[in-house]
Amino acid sequence: MGALILLLYNNNFLEEFYHRGVIQSKLERIVGQKKAILYGGILFGMTHIVFDITQLMGTQGILFVLFAFILQILSGWLLGIV
């Protein structure tokens, strides 16, 4: 159980480090902080929607996939602000 928690923590840490530490910081230098959060959230949603499409398309339909995509973008914006 401890190894599973450590694995999940490391994956989340590395993902956030990549999105916030690499992508968002480079975007901030190019387009400014507000646009970097906006674009970074959209990129965050796009990288996570691949999993949603493969898992949800067969069971829930396109409307549910679009809703999941919007939630991913919103969470990317929230994490970008934090």
Specify the DSSP class assigned to residue 75: H
Give the span between the Cα atoms of 75 and 33, in whole angstroms. Answer: 17
Higher pLDDT, 82 or 27: 27
pLDDT at 66: 82
Looking at residue 30, its pLDDT comes to: 94
> Domain extents for the chain?
2-81
Give tens-digit pLDDT for 34-81. Answer: 999 999 888 888 887 776 666 666 666 777 778 888 888 898 888 888
pTM summary value: 0.69
Per-residue pLDDT at 33 exceeds 80 = yes
